[in-house]
Amino acid sequence: MMSQHIEIEFKNMLTKAEYEKFLIKFNINEKQIFSQENHYFETIDFALKEKGSALRIRKKHDSYEMTLKQPLPIGLLETNQPLREDDAALATDHSKLPNGIIQRLLEEMDIPFEKIKYIGSLVTRRAEFEYKKGLLVLDHSIYLTKQDYELEYEVENYQEGQQVFQELLTQFKITERKTENKISRFYNEKHKQTNLF
Determine which helix (DSSP H) or strand (DSSP E) holds 117, and give its type and residue range. Answer: strand 117-131
What's the pLDDT at 191? 79
CATH architecture, range 3-194: Beta Barrel (2.40)
DSSP 116: -
What's the pLDDT at 196? 58
DSSP 94: H
**Model confidence pTM above 0.85:** yes
Q: For 141-157, give one letter per residue: b (16+ CB within 10 A) or e.
A: bebeeeebbbbbbbbee
Within the chain, residue ranges assigned H as helices are: 16-25, 47-50, 85-94, 101-108, 158-171, 182-194
What's the pLDDT at 142? 97
Q: List, for residues 137-195, the tens digit of each pLDDT value.
A: 999 999 998 999 999 999 999 999 999 999 999 999 999 999 999 999 998 888 787 76
**At 46, which amino acid appears?**
F
Please provide the distance, in angstroms rounded to a whole number, between the alpha carbons at the two ends of the chain.
32
Q: List, for residues 169-181, the tens digit of each pLDDT value.
A: 999 999 999 999 9
Q: List, for residues 23-60, the tens digit of each pLDDT value.
A: 999 999 999 999 999 999 999 888 999 999 999 999 99
**How far is residue 179's CA from residue 143's CA, in Å, rounded to a whole number?**
16
In this model, does residue 197 exceed pLDDT 60? no
Q: Give 123: exposed, middle or buried? Use CB within 10 Å, 0-12, 13-18, 19+.
A: middle
What length does the chain have? 197
What's the pLDDT at 152? 98
